[in-house]
Structure 1
Amino acid sequence: MATDVVPIDLTVSPSGGKRNVLGVLVDVIDYDAAVDRVVEAAVRRRPFILTALAVHGVMTGVGDLRHNARLNAFDVVAPDGQPVRWALNLLHAAGLRDWVSGPELMLRVLWRAAVEDLPVYLYGSTQRTVDRLAAALTLLIPGLRIAGTEPSKFRAALPGEEVEIAGRIAGSGARLVLVGLGCPRQESFAHAMRPFLDMPILAVGAAFDYHAGLLRPAPRWMQRAGLAWLWRLAGEPRRLAHRYLVLGPRYLLRLAAQASRLWTPSAPGPAAHRPAELPPV
């Protein structure tokens, strides 16, 4: 007897395209559109790379033109945090009502992956973290299939090693990859691996630690006030002092210069999808 088959809706929510923020092309996009684009690429088995950039990620591109070109090659660079959302609205009248948090985006993608029966691969961080993360996600999201996990080796890849990593990911049956290597290592990894994997690669940074229960997110009121950086600085002052106390003011100065048209940053063209250098692994 014939059964009714419910087709997968591949209609992708619209986004507002890319805009120049200090030379980095950031997408005017919300959660729904970002999740739709990831799932559409996973279902159609298309290469796709996404990252969610906060101030530190943008400033990393500002300080390194080669990395800037990598970022501008991403399919989606989502605005992670109020300061990047504010920049899009100030510079380009984007009208974004919310930012796209990496940890929240990760969960929304995984809920959809469970519904669409898309197995996922977790790459990065330490063995302890990915083990805890896999266990936590399996409990949180019924039906989620984790095809494999692999911790970071905390070094540059050896010649040919990126092909071996891609082989393990593809061989696991995964349909999308989540990468938690920290900025900018995870963006370099995703950019380098794109030619070898016909699936989305999402650079989600500290989301691994948050969802593994190793970090606590800032209270929502601090996030809305653009003070999530202060919460993280209080928790890890030695590691994050330069990021927030040096790069933060530089970001604001450059943003003011761009907004007042005293400075017009160039946006380096997208780097070739297959870079000359080996990725960090």
Structure 2
Amino acid sequence: MLTKEKILSINISKGKRDEFVQSIMDLGSKNKPSYVCVANAHMLVEAHWSKAFQKVVNDADIVTPDGMPLAKSFKILHGIAQERVDGMSLLPLLLESSIAENLAVYFYGGSSGLVEHTKSFIEKDFPLLNVVGMYSPPFRYLTEAEETLVIDKIANSGANIVFVALGCPKQEQWMAEMKDKIPAVLVGIGGALPVLIGLQKRAPVWMQKSSLEWLYRLVQEPRRLFKRYVVTNTVFLYLLLRAKIKTRRVEDGVAGQKISDPAAERANF
């Protein structure tokens, strides 16, 4: 299993993209009740503001560094080179691997229109994918009876992987609640699905590599994403700077203790 490093308030898994894919496949093939969070700056700030949500993310079996700022934070805070493992790139890789390893998948979340587009896209681009179900929940809290029915339907579908598209933080909270009720790996894919099936466009590669993909999405959906990107990105940068200063002070303090150690001074003499 992938190991994790603490980035501000959450523990993020580290490794190469293909290692993330294989780790998720392993969980799915074993039908292990588990869940995967695809983390970006927005999720990290939400976790900073809410201890309950922080626990939800930290209890995940795998947390991918979705945003480029999070991937770069590994280098800034821990001196570790970490590539970005974003949901938009991860989702098609998981679909391809599911076909190769003959794993069944289930899609949960999104509007009825999104579900219909997903069906058409899968039939055309991933015809060999074993899709055992798709469900668009109502835009309200489910009753206890409805929730039990949904859980039973997914649990009895034979799904190895459940792709959850409810948006952050709702999808992460749902996965945490469902973990011990559904024998599959739950993967929060958020906004990756609309991009994959062509309902939204992805930023050019140069913007992805320059940590500007958020700006491209903001221009596409300014009303919905203004607070998420402008406000949370600013908070994230502040928290990262504060953590870096704290780390530097600790490192300087340790270095100072070594220099002032009489035994060390005698040894150097």
Aligned to 1:220: 205
1:256 aligns with 2:258: no
Q: Match of 1:105, SS?
A: helix
Separation in 2, partners of 1:199, 1:130: 20
Q: Which residue of the other structure, out of 93, 96, 101, is the alignment partner of 1:108? A: 93
Q: Is 1:41–1:200's contact at 8 Å kept on the other side of the alignment?
A: yes
Q: Which residue of the other structure, out of 59, 65, 70, is the alignment partner of 2:51? A: 65
Separation in 2, partners of 1:132, 1:209: 9
- Spell out, residue by residue over 1:202-223, the C-alpha distance to the aligned partner (whole angstroms, 9 max, x if none): 0000012112211101111101
Aligned to 1:151: 136
Separation in 2, partners of 1:23, 1:148: 35
Q: Tell me how far 1:122 sits from its aligned partner.
A: 0.4
Q: Is 2:155–2:181's contact at 8 Å kept on the other side of the alignment?
A: no
With 248-257 and 146-155 compared, the bigger mean Cα shift is at: 146-155
Q: Match of 1:196, SS?
A: coil
Segments of 5+ residues of structure 2 without an aligned counterpart are: 250-269
Q: How does 1:161-180 map to 2 (within 5 A)?
A: 161-180=146-165
Q: Tell me how far 1:262 sits from its aligned partner.
A: 7.0
Q: Which residue of the other structure, out of 55, 60, 63, is the alignment partner of 1:74? A: 60
Aligned to 2:262: none
Amino acid at match of 1:181: L
Q: Which residue of the other structure, out of 90, 102, 125, is the alignment partner of 1:140? A: 125
Q: Match of 2:15, SS?
A: coil
Rate the CA distance shift 1:92–1:161 in 2: closer, same or farther, 3 A.
Answer: farther
Q: Which residue of the other structure, out of 10, 18, 40, is the alignment partner of 2:4? A: 18
Separation in 2, partners of 1:205, 1:135: 19
Q: Which residue of the other structure, out of 12, 15, 19, is the alignment partner of 1:33? A: 19
Separation in 1, partners of 2:171, 2:40: 14
Q: Is 2:57–2:63's contact at 8 Å kept on the other side of the alignment?
A: yes
Separation in 2, partners of 1:63, 1:142: 42
Equivalences, count = 249
Separation in 1, partners of 2:124, 2:241: 45
- Greater relative CO (CA pairs within 8 A, separation 6+): 1
Rate the CA distance shift 1:263–1:92 in 2: closer, same or farther, 3 A.
Answer: closer
Q: TM-score, normalised by structure 2?
A: 0.88
Aligned to 1:245: 230
Aligned to 2:263: none
Rate the CA distance shift 1:61–1:263 in 2: closer, same or farther, 3 A.
Answer: farther
Where has structure 1 moved over 6 Å in runs of 4 or more? none
Q: Match of 1:56, SS?
A: helix
With 217-226 and 34-43 compared, the bigger mean Cα shift is at: 34-43
Segments of 5+ residues of structure 1 without an aligned counterpart are: 1-13, 265-281
User: Comparing both structures, which one devotes a greater share of its residues to helix?
Assistant: 2
Q: Match of 1:260, SS?
A: helix
Q: TM-score, normalised by structure 1?
A: 0.85
Percentage identity across aligned positions?
A: 29
